[in-house]
Chain A
Amino acid sequence: MPELTTPAPEATGSVRRPSPGRRPSPGRIVAAASRVALADLRTVYTPLTWSVGWLGRIVTQVVFFAIIGLLLDDREALVRLFVGQAVMVAVVEVFMSVASTTWERSTGTLALLVSAPGPLWPVFVGRSLQWIPSGVATSGVALFVVGPFLGVTWTVGAAVAAGLTVLLTACAMYGVALSLAAVVLRGPRWRNIVSNVAHTLVMLVTGVTVPVATWPGWVQALAQTLPMTHGLDGVRALQAGGGPGAVGEPLLWAFLTGAGWFALAALGFTLFGEAGRRDGTIDLDE
């Protein structure tokens, strides 16, 4: 077919020229996307469903594991399983971001996001932030409210330090969850399977139920890359009576590994966008 050229319409004013480039700031995108997260949180939980339904479920999950100590008739095991699970519940909730990341597909905003000048990754970092405060809060209730009933007590200083450690651990594990989410975006129907299988694996290898040292070397090496291993070490140290200084090194490792996972997640989201452009899997109204 010959090249078809249409004549310019009669001028009705000056034609707009391209505007000078502006660089979108990832920080502001994260903040803007976190409002979506907050709105989702308000829809998913009401104060009643959160405090009775969700918190109740979480507390019984922690208790379920702690009472294995009764079966073993081993008080140390009870405390170990309780503390591990109390921190774990924050991670369980943070892993819900694997599913909530794919909600972006059902909202129909994906094509708009890809075609906007801003990078994709800060959107996803912001849009599932809601699980962190909720997860840290349930974990806090388990550690500091349920704990004393099971004989796990804290000094104020240790409690503050443990709370902060859980917060950092949850944030760092969010990076792990986002890395998985970047993959699951390609196959959203696997979202629940991936998040559940992944958090159960985390529970298995990071020292939540049995010490990391029980595992073969390669599993231990894998565990070292997960911020949970280090964060949990920190909380256990605090619970065993170590001063706030005891968490310094674990916190540093949790932070470093977390940063690595965030970088991987950012790369994953960018690659997802590029792959979508290549194979046409991003629909305009998707």
Chain B
Amino acid sequence: MSVVRTVATGVVVQLRQMRGTPDWFLALFTAPLTTAVFVTIFLHAGRGDLTAYGVLAPALIALWQMSLQTAGELIAKDRENGSLEALLAAPAPFAALLGGRVLAVVAVSLVAFAEAWAVGWALTGSPVDVAHPWVFLLVLGLTALAMTGWAGVMACVFVLARSARTFQNSLSYPFYVLGGVLVPVSLLPTWVEWPSRLVFLSWSSDLLRDALAAGPVVGLGARLAAVVGLGAAGYVVAHGLLGRTLQRVRRTGSLAHA
């Protein structure tokens, strides 16, 4: 099947490209330190019970950063070497290639979970317990998939609106707040909480925290549905945007001045 093979090609191409370029692994270099920042804040406040929060946040940040970076870099690189138009001219393989590349990065970024967990252990002297491992793994998998879809949206936005790339740097902290990666959005004022519920990450982070905690995970089905629904929305939007991008290539013959 050509789509599967293209995804696999995307994974391989991406891993090859990352080799020898430390920038791709930036998030993995900073994740342990960010873990230390968060965990020491909680320890200093005498709230060792929040260690799980401090361990989870840097890992989610790494996941987000690396996905977004692929989306941005992919477009910039292909644009530079002039292969973007050619790649876009064949719609299905392009989406599959993009998917494969993002998937590779998302997979690598999962290393940050292990790093953060190890640092948390080292600082507190006891490992963060995963009370509901299956829920945790399920949510993590869905989160990674949803991330891939939204990274695809970003990739298209970077093509369609050239200036968007200037804001790539700015897509970090606003989403860490709205995605509730450290502080649950339920603690935020309602006018912030409401829009944050449209960010799949806010559902993911709440679920992941609950999966680590000893108590039962309440309303699992509905919350999983939210992650799936918002993640699927990413794929739908990405598909639509890709179509528009293609139209533009066919109409103008080029993306050079998009």
Binding site for B on A (CB under 8 A): 46, 49, 52-54, 56-57, 60-61, 63-64, 67-68, 70-72, 74, 77, 81, 189-190, 192-193, 196-197, 200-201, 203-204, 209-211, 214
Contact = CB atoms under 8 A, between A and B. Distances in A.
Nearest to A195: B26
B17 interface: no
B41 A210 contact: yes
Given A64-B173, A67-B188, A204-B36, A214 B23 contact: no
6 contacts: A57-B169, A61-B172, A64-B173, A67-B188, A81-B41, A201-B33
A30 to B, nearest CB: 28
Given A49-B167, A54-B170, A204 B33 contact: yes
Given A67-B183, A70-B187, A197-B30, A57 B170 contact: yes
A54 B188 CA distance: 23
Contacts of A77: 41, 45
A266 to B, nearest CB: 27
Given A67-B188, A189-B22, A60 B33 contact: no
Contacts of B188: 67, 70
Contacts of A189: 21-23
A44 to B, nearest CB: 9
Contacts of A192: 22-23, 26
A210 B38 CA distance: 10
Interface string B41-82: 111110100100100000000000000000000000000000
A77 to B, nearest CB: 6
B37 A71 contact: no
A46 B162 CA distance: 14
A49 B166 contact: yes
B173 A57 contact: yes
Interface string B22-40: 1101100110011011101
A210 B176 contact: no
A190 B25 CA distance: 11
Given A57-B169, A193-B22, A200 B30 contact: yes
Given A189-B23, A214-B44, A53 B170 contact: yes
Closest 4 pairs between A and B when the two form their complex, measured CB to CB: A57-B170, A60-B173, A200-B33, A210-B44
A223 to B, nearest CB: 13
B182 interface: yes
B170 A200 contact: no
B125 interface: no
A67 B177 contact: yes
B135 to A, nearest CB: 22
A172 B98 CA distance: 44
B22 A190 contact: yes
Nearest to A60: B173
Contacts of B184: 71
Given A53-B167, A63-B177, A68-B182, A200 B47 contact: no
B216 interface: no
A67 B187 contact: yes
Contacts of A46: 166
Given A52-B170, A53-B170, A210-B44, 20 more contacts: A53-B167, A56-B174, A57-B170, A64-B177, A64-B183, A67-B177, A70-B188, A71-B53, A77-B45, A189-B23, A192-B22, A192-B26, A193-B29, A196-B30, A200-B34, A204-B37, A204-B40, A209-B44, A210-B40, A214-B40
Contacts of B172: 57, 61
Nearest to A57: B170
A262 B174 CA distance: 35
Nearest to A54: B170
